[in-house]
């Protein structure tokens, strides 16, 4: 019964947030803070699931903008948990097909997120250059999931290099973000589903890097995030 109530409540709240966000965005479409404004409300949905979300942002990160943020991607709940950690002047990069999802898709597009066609390799490469140009021209940060898909309990999957190539072209740092384990964390029939920790890691400068060593840097960053992910899991469970 509790699960049914939560699902209905979540659906109603999500639709309301999307509609209000769209109306707000019509006043300033594609503004660089539309995503931040909407994310503040999406993040509150975690309370419906009985989740306590703690966000940790070091001073070294707060002083840097723009940047390319990379975050581990676990499941569909990420839209609510990760939303709590979105900083001002940040947009995300998502699949072009998202804009066809009723209410959510229109909100995602109007808030100014960048939509890409993953099925077209040439367009995907052009997207890296386009995203880098938007970072420079609009002074915005970009949020990416370098795994490219949900891990669904498999830890942190291998990273693609797109986020790092984007940061290199835009001449901005990479800032990793770790979200503690969400796999089977939420039981909709349980009142309290525990704690999730979201932690920004230290910025990674790409100064001196080149296209030739991007793969090595990508792998090293993934290894560091995996180690941090495991540490956060232990802490969250305690």
Q: What pLDDT does 209 receive?
A: 78
Q: Are strands 90-95 and 114-116 parallel, antiparallel or unpaired?
A: parallel
pLDDT of amino acid 176: 97
HEC secondary structure over 86-98: CCCCEEEEEEHHH
Each residue's pLDDT tens digit, 92-149: 988 888 888 899 999 999 998 988 776 655 565 678 888 899 899 999 999 999 998 8
What residue numbers bound the domain in which 227 lies? 2-237
pTM here is 0.92
Number of domains present in the structure of the chain: 1
SS3 of 213, please? helix
Whichever domain contains 187, its CATH number is 3.40.1130
pLDDT, position 145: 93
CB atoms under 10 Å from CB of 47, counted, come to: 12
* Interatomic CA distance for residues 198 and 80, integer angstroms: 12
């Amino acid at each position: 019964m509790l699960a049914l109530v939560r699902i209905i409540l979540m659906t109603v709240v999500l639709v309301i947030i999307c509609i209000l966000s769209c109306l707000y965005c019509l006043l300033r479409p594609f503004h660089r803070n539309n995503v931040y404004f909407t994310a503040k409300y999406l993040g509150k949905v975690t309370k419906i699931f009985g989740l306590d979300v703690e966000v940790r942002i070091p001073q070294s990160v707060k002083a840097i903008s723009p940047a390319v943020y990379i975050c581990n991607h676990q499941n569909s709940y990420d839209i609510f948990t990760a939303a709590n950690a979105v900083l001002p002047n940040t947009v995300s990069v998502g699949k072009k097909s998202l804009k066809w999802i009723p209410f959510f898709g229109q909100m995602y597009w109007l808030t100014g997120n960048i939509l890409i066609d993953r099925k077209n390799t040439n367009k995907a490469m052009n997207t890296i250059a386009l995203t880098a140009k938007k970072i420079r021209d609009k002074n915005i940060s970009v949020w990416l999931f370098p795994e490219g898909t949900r891990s669904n309990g498999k830890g942190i999957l291998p990273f693609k290099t797109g986020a790092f190539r984007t940061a290199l072209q835009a001449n901005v740092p990479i800032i990793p973000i770790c979200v503690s384990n969400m796999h089977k964390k939420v039981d909709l029939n349980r009142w309290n589903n525990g704690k999730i920790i979201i932690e920004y890691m230290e910025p990674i400068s790409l100064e001196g890097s080149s296209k030739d060593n991007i793969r090595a840097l990508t792998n090293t960053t993934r290894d560091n995030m995996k180690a941090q992910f495991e540490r956060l899991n232990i802490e969250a469970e305690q």
